[in-house]
Amino acid sequence: MFKTLAADLRMVFERDPAARNLLEVLLCYPGLHALWFYRVSHQLEQWGLPVVPRLLSQIARWLTGVEIHPGATIGQGLFIDHGMGVVIGETAILGDNVLLYQGVTLGGTGKQLGKRHPTLGNNVVVGAGAKVLGNIEIGDNARIGAGAVVLKSVPPDCTVVGVPGRIVRRGEPVAPLDHMRVPDPEGDALRMLAERMDVLESQWRQWVQTPEAPLPVDLDWLAMLRPKHLQRAEPRDSFEEGLGI
C-alpha cells in the first residue's frame, strides 16, 4: 500500500510542472486526495465491508469533485490533473502511470451486469472532457484527445480525436504532455473539399468558353478525390484509419 501511495505522489511531480514542493502537493491537489480516498475505499471493498466504501467515495466526491467507484481497479501512478468532473466507473480497469484531465468520464453503456466500463493500459493519456464508454480496451501508450468520444477499442500507440473518435496517428510514440502535435482530420477534409471545388470551377470555366465541347470532368477521378471522411461506409466494429466509428 505505501509503495503504491508513494508512486502516486511521485507521478504528480513527474507530470505537473506546477508542482513545487511536497507540502503544496499534499494540501492542494484534489486529484491526489481523491485517489488516496479510493485506495482506502477499494481495500474496504475487497474485504467485503458494506456501505462504508461507497460512503467514502461520496465524501471524496463532495470534497474533490472526482468520483471513483471503490470497485474500480487502478494501478500505480495514476495522476488526475485538476480533477473536477472526473468519473471512473465500477468495473473500469486502469494500468500504471495513466494521466486523466478534468472532465474525463470512464463510463458504462446500458444496464448490463458484469464488465461494462473501459480498460486502459499503461501510460495512457485521456484529454480534458473526453468520454470513454463501454467495455472496450485502450492500448498501452494510447492518447485520447480532449473532447473525444470513444466507443470502440483503440490499439496501442495510437492517437484518437473527434466525435466520434477517429484514429489519426498509429505507432508513433508521443510524450505524455505534448498536446500540440495532434492531427486535424476535419480540417484536412475541408481542405480537400476546397481543392476539389477549385478543380471543378476551373474545368467549368473552360467549358463555358467552349460550350460545344463535352464537359471536361473526369467523374472517376472526382470519385477518387472524395475524402474518406465523406465516403459512405458500412458499420464497423473497429477503428479504421481516417474513418469515424
Kindly give the confidence (pLDDT) of every residue in the chain, 245 residues in length, as a single tens digit, with 9 standing for 90 and above. 677 888 888 888 888 888 888 898 889 889 999 999 999 999 999 998 899 999 999 999 999 999 999 999 999 989 998 888 999 999 999 999 999 999 999 998 877 788 999 999 999 999 999 999 999 999 999 999 888 999 999 999 888 988 888 888 887 666 666 665 666 667 777 888 888 888 877 777 776 677 666 655 565 665 666 555 555 555 555 555 555 44
Predicted confidence at residue 63, as pLDDT, reads 93
CA angle centred on 139, ends 128 and 242, rounded to 5°: 75
Cβ neighbours around 181 below 10 Å, total: 10
The whole-angstrom separation of Cα 26 and Cα 208 is 73
β-pair type (166-170, 158-161): antiparallel
User: Is 53:60 a contact under the CB 8 Å cutoff?
Assistant: no
Question: Would you state the cell numbers that stand for residue 38, as one nine-digit string?
Answer: 479510493
Its pTM stands at 0.72
Domains located in the chain, CATH noted = 2-170 (2.160.10.10), 185-230 (no CATH)
Cβ neighbours around 133 below 10 Å, total: 19
Query: What does the buried/exposed string (b/e) look like for 207-227 if buried means 16 or more CB atoms within 10 Å of the residue's CB?
Result: eeeeeeeeeeeeeeeeeeeeb
Cβ neighbours around 99 below 10 Å, total: 22
User: Is 99:126 a contact under the CB 8 Å cutoff?
Assistant: yes
